[in-house]
Amino acid sequence: MLFYQKHLVKFTSAFLFCLTLLPSLTKADGPKDNIPDEVRRIPALGVEVPAEQKQQLEQGLAKLKTSLDQLKKSKDARIKALIPDVEIYYRAVWSALEYQEFFHEREIGTGLNLLKQGQERADQLLKGEAPWTQQTGLVVRGYISKIDQTVQPYGLVIPDNYTFSGKSEYRCDLWFHGRGERLSEVNFINQQQRSRGQYTPANTIVLHPYGRYSNAFKFAGEVDVLEALESTRQNYRIDDDRISVRGFSMGGAACWQFAVHYADRWFAANPGAGFSETPLFLKVFQEEKLKPTWYEEKLWQLYDCPGYALNLFQCPTVAYSGEIDKQKQAADVMELALKKVGIDMVHIIGPDTAHKIHPDSKVIIEEKMDSLARIGRQRVP
């Protein structure tokens, strides 16, 4: 795992370089998307912002930037550490306006509302106050990325019984979101302030990383997850022996990746649907006739999970698939890979279910995850 982390950036650079030399090898949503002139723009351009609302957004951004500039002059270490919790609102709206990523007219109103929320936090912090740091329920926070020094958002569900003083430590589940071509920082922050997500176990902090849009939490998205977790650990009392990774669809793919590469960090993994490797996935879902070069196959191993199956020996894995979901393929591939190294994988199947989590399966999954949480992380064989 240490070797993997140390060489991630170097390996990523080599991988991206090879893809720039070989545009025909880049895979998106089907063979047509391998032709450079026919690749869809993702995300698609959003709506044109009417002049009046554009002016309102620009005025709100200017006001919030002035407050941020004031905060950044502070010599108070606590205030400086909390600036990202304010700046996430500025960056979200600024980038949506700059890159035309308001995908529906109603999102413009969402952007204006986020600016009000950001300004409210800024005004509070200028007075030395930060009530959101003592808030239970849905909380959105931020951190500064070590990759490019940008502020990145993440969502939290803080249990109602969380005590902000004391020594009790809490379980933490990471939940990886699914793919959404109209995802943006505006939409992500808005959603994290409205929805608790698929699972909210008792006495558990749930961390929702953003992961740089919809890249399956790979490359910069992978580092973002680790940094969001570290930020959460700095701000809340996390039990290091009771941290799990979970996700569905694209988030399930991310869960497989984090499970096999960082198996020593989690008490359990709970991937649902998604994908776990490259060649079979492309054949099944995109009907690709693959003729990979040796170096393409080599580079696939950075994120293809079957070759790392043995790492799950001490990371109990509770996989989920809908019975009639084509993405059941991901867990089937991993189940076979695990069997080859002597590990029996728990695979919960949603009866007659396509691409969603069956409610009965959800109950079984939670029972198993709660049981594993009581045991905690297995530090030694």
Q: What is the CATH number of the domain that holds 262?
A: 3.40.50.1820
State whether 13 and 57 are in the same domain. no
Q: Taking residues 163-175, what's their average pLDDT?
A: 97
Domain edge (last residue) among 128, 161, 190: 128
Pure H helices in 198-343: 220-235, 250-261, 279-286, 294-300, 328-340
Domain edge (last residue) among 128, 145, 165: 128
Closest among 155, 37, 156, 60 to 110, alpha carbons compared? 60
What is the pLDDT confidence band of residue 285, given thresholds at 50, 70 and 90? confident
Domain edge (last residue) among 81, 98, 128: 128
- Long-range contacts of residues 371-376, Cβ cutoff 8 Å, at least 24 apart: 372/244, 372/267, 372/268, 372/316, 372/318, 373/171, 373/201, 373/204, 373/242, 373/244, 373/267, 373/268, 375/267, 376/239, 376/241, 376/242, 376/267
State whether 45 and 66 are in the same domain. yes
Residue 162 has pLDDT above 60, yes or no: yes
What is the pLDDT confidence band of residue 30, given thresholds at 50, 70 and 90? low
Closest among 202, 178, 324, 176 to 259, alpha carbons compared? 176
Task: Report pLDDT for 16.
Answer: 44
The rounded percent of the chain whose pLDDT value lies above 70 is 92
State whether 74 and 140 are in the same domain. no
User: What digits encode the pLDDT tens for the residues 94-124?
Assistant: 999 999 999 999 999 999 999 999 999 999 9
284 domain residue, yes or no: yes
State whether 347 and 323 are in the same domain. yes
Task: Report pLDDT for 27.
Answer: 42
Average pLDDT taken over every residue of the chain: 93
Q: Name the more confident of 141 and 6.
A: 141
State whether 75 and 9 are in the same domain. no
Q: Taking residues 244-269, what's their average pLDDT?
A: 99
Query: What range does the domain containing 110 cover?
Result: 41-128
- Note whether 117 and 88 are within 8 A (CB): no
- The lowest-confidence range among 23-27, 141-145, 194-198 is 23-27
Tokens of 210: 């953003």
DSSP 304: -
32 domain residue, yes or no: no
33 domain residue, yes or no: no
Q: Which residue has the tokens 């696939």?
A: 300
User: What digits encode the pLDDT tens for the residues 343-360?
Assistant: 999 999 999 999 999 999
Residue 18 has pLDDT above 60, yes or no: no
Distances in Å between the alpha carbon of 167 and those of 139, 202, 236, 265?
A: 21, 18, 11, 21
The rounded percent of the chain whose pLDDT value lies above 90 is 86
State whether 102 and 173 are in the same domain. no
State whether 181 and 286 are in the same domain. yes
Domain count, the chain: 2
Task: Report pLDDT for 29.
Answer: 64
What DSSP assignment string belongs to 256-296?
A: HHHHHHSGGG-SEEEEESS-S-SHHHHHHHH-------HHH
53 domain residue, yes or no: yes
Tokens of 96: 């949506």
77 domain residue, yes or no: yes
State whether 333 and 351 are in the same domain. yes
DSSP 317: B
State whether 246 and 165 are in the same domain. yes
269 domain residue, yes or no: yes
What is the pLDDT confidence band of residue 35, given thresholds at 50, 70 and 90? confident
Closest among 98, 97, 228, 219 to 151, alpha carbons compared? 228
35 domain residue, yes or no: no
State whether 219 and 173 are in the same domain. yes
State whether 20 and 63 are in the same domain. no
Which class for 366: exposed (0-12), middle (13-18), buried (19 or more C-beta within 10 A)?
middle
State whether 108 and 236 are in the same domain. no
381 domain residue, yes or no: no
